A and B are shown apart, each in its own frame.
Chain A
């Protein structure tokens, strides 16, 4: 080739960012475009399980083998995104003994380390498990932060020369002479970092090849070029608890079913999930029965969930795909395997490859296979190194030094910061000014927030996924205005206000599904803090008409004030000559 091939990657989830990183590392010229924030689609709406493969050890052993292999890779290259929690498949009296044995044998057959524990041993490990749990299989499941992982992949891609454009929706595929030659995107706020209040615009991005890694949206991209990609989006709910009732992933050991997993995640535990086919990945009902089912069914495994506090629920859509001739009617039957669709071979449309199906845990392996395919296309001979080279932040994860002293941070704030930042801790936390905590629930400091703003512009939701700020108990009630304040140095006031409002609305959206008990009290307090104390709901700066300031009280004059002080009702003692009265 005379020049470096330019590949446009569509989709900023785990697959897209993984593909972009791999391509960039193998020397391609790469542009990644994502319609929202990184992780906007499916990746940001998962339960955070790093599969051991145990889940597929009976039904889909090739997936199970891939999972355990990638599980080991990610613990190595993405150490700062992974918590090695371990997992249990627990058996209740009504669950079948036969399936328990199949699961155990399946794990062994797939090379997944598996150990049988008695009910008492399982409860010694997780004291809140139900008394009637009979036994369990212990496997190396883990918890992974999908936000941190994708941001790290994108950062690595950028380090290797890639261009990453978020908030840039694909509006059309450029097709010339029967070949895909690029995409047209609409930038929400201009190219580069997202800035509220900045006018966007269209851009034609020409490319030698387009990789469609848009998951549940892949069919919509296909439609733009007249090719049929039958993705079957399937929704699932995740309900977030305000504390970790368990420190180990708890799976129910039965063939399949809704509401069968609890994943400890940072300060929370995530209950999941349902599996229901939907028509549109952007627009589907988020229903009460799904939330109720999570709590009621999973309480059979962990009884204290019944009365525990939830802080929000969210839904994700799986980009399920099966070849046209299979015809499954139940989404839980559709394979979790991924498919690479070369549209030249498949549809006589050169210039584009789609990737559909698949699982978060194996995103890197999928990316490797796609990039191998792209290399073949262009005759590039470059080996994949993504399984060996650590992601930014995980290069040297022996970093749990005593950062508390070094950066003047109190415990456990220092520890949390360093866990989030991994080997980037030095670079981020070493700041000239004071470094107060901005989000108390999640112990996020100003230095981390400022670092995230540098990386993502005025988008406070992007700051949120990079730092976890606003993701704790109060859901932004106490810190949304503080985050807005942190934008002040770099952006003008209307921009800050717009970003602040957007964050408030986003935080409200998921909380609506947790409005009873303590979280309803919290919601009322948040509403009071934002509306009563700050008047954000009726902010005169947002109003069309200016307030007639002159009509309002302009303060007590000295004479009226003195009258107030000396008047008949006075019960206090003036300590200031009567001027101020307290």
Chain B
């Protein structure tokens, strides 16, 4: 006997999470099946809606000549028809971002439609719609002079290089970089979580002069000689895992200026904090969660005259197949990175339901010659109808009761556009809400 729910969501990243929330908020009984850790640990933790219009689209020509978009919502109607934002519409994106703002109260940016330009750990800036409070004092349109601080042992962030790079991007403030020894750093290959823990716990550490003091104080003390009139100080995103606000507060109080984090690559603490927020919200909304095992199979009816209906999906738990039945299903398993889209030398596929993924038959047409070229692979994913139901090669729904959300969708290049989180949140929310509506 299968475990029964009204809505089953497959995938536990932003898209799956917002699909489950969207359905639960409409009163549906929701179960979320998630296999591995989501790709949020690999993301910066910034929540982009749309940073750049795709090259050559109406949105591009109308707005900014290829520069960063000030207002992402304004550009959405000019996107190509196959873009997922066109399916959910501007209102759908706004509604979903409203839910995001309720759920993730540590995020900022909701006070305006305008994008913010946030410094990256490589030293440039990127447009984003929402940023953690920890990054708020760092936005590049703020003209306060800044000091960036890096740690000798943390190779992902070279503060002097980032500072010089920002100046060459013409930011409207002076910025310097300093590299210091992290007080009490245990070894050369410490993980970011090690720094975060020292700061969370304010553990006693040995300073350069041999005295022992709290980690926060010792860090501020090591930064102080480099301040030189800076009106804010940026650190790599290691300022606490459990209590980042308190860590920043202590550092800011000791230094006498605001403190911010520069988002980093994997493993990304801001990404992990966002995942925590998401899972707390899912808990609060009463979503049942089943994690750690992959969905490997499904059962459907014969379909008769119309599309088939999925009756259940099964997870593999140590070799045993456990079915989960539902009335409606949402597929939010991610794209190429999350393995919601797979491939071999011959073809590109969606591995669970074998939904149609348009792609060239010759794999040498999947990519462009330059590293940042116009890559077909970046747009691999499922085409859908106006209700986010995946379509087969003939343009008919694959299943009557399956919707898709997030990176498993095709037709957009989130890396070039800076739209990954926004598409996941918007399509997740829309798919979840539509699933709940269908159950009713």
Contact = CB atoms under 8 A, between A and B. Distances in A.
Interface of A: 288, 292, 295, 408, 410, 433-438, 446, 478-479, 481-482, 484-486, 488, 492-494, 496-497, 504-505, 507-508, 512, 515-517, 520-521, 523-525, 527-541, 543, 545-557, 560-561, 563-565, 569-572, 575-576, 580-582
B224 interface: no
B101 A569 contact: yes
B200 interface: no
A260 B248 CA distance: 60
B165 A561 contact: no
Contact of B117 (A493, A523, A547): A547
A124 to B, nearest CB: 31
Contacts of A576: 245-246, 249
Q: Is the interface of B mostly helix, strand, loop or mixed?
A: loop
Interface in B102-117: 102-103, 105-106, 108-112, 114-117
B178 interface: no
Interface of B: 42-44, 48, 51-52, 65-68, 70, 98, 101-103, 105-106, 108-112, 114-117, 120-127, 132-134, 136-137, 139-143, 152-158, 160-161, 164-165, 167-172, 181, 185, 187-189, 243-246, 248-249, 263, 265-266, 273, 281, 284, 335-337, 339, 342-345, 362-364, 366-367, 369-372, 375, 377-378, 414-416, 418, 420
B114 A488 contact: no
Given A288-B364, A532-B415, A548-B70, 5 more contacts: A488-B161, A515-B377, A533-B120, A538-B68, A540-B68
Contact of B188 (A435, A497, A512, A521): A435
Given A556-B136, A572-B106, A582-B134, A493 B152 contact: no
A529 B70 CA distance: 22
Contact of A555 (B70, B108, B168): B108
A441 to B, nearest CB: 14
A472 to B, nearest CB: 15
**Ordered nearest first, which 10 A-B pairs have the shortest CB separation?**
A485-B158, A582-B106, A535-B126, A534-B122, A569-B102, A493-B164, A508-B371, A553-B116, A531-B415, A524-B336
A521 B339 contact: yes
Contact of B336 (A520, A541, A543): A520
A291 to B, nearest CB: 9
Contacts of B160: 488
Given A549-B171, A552-B116, A434 B336 contact: no
B161 A408 contact: no
A551 B114 contact: yes
Nearest to A523: B377
Q: Is the interface of A mostly helix, strand, loop or mixed?
A: helix
A295 B244 CA distance: 50
Contacts, number: 280
A479 B102 CA distance: 36
A581 B133 contact: yes
Contact of B245 (A481, A496, A581): A581
A299 to B, nearest CB: 12
A554 B418 CA distance: 19
Contacts of B249: 576, 580
B262 to A, nearest CB: 11
Nearest to B101: A569
16 contacts: A408-B187, A516-B345, A523-B336, A527-B415, A528-B414, A533-B121, A535-B126, A537-B415, A546-B170, A547-B68, A549-B140, A549-B171, A550-B172, A553-B116, A555-B141, A575-B246
A549 B102 contact: no
Contacts of B139: 552-555
B117 A549 contact: yes
Contacts of A496: 161
A546 B169 CA distance: 7
Nearest to A505: B371
B106 A581 contact: yes
Contact of A512 (B123, B281, B369): B369
Contacts of A408: 187-188
A427 to B, nearest CB: 19
A481 B367 contact: no
Contact of B284 (A546, A548, A571, A582): A571
A121 to B, nearest CB: 33
Given A516-B363, A581-B245, A537 B416 contact: yes
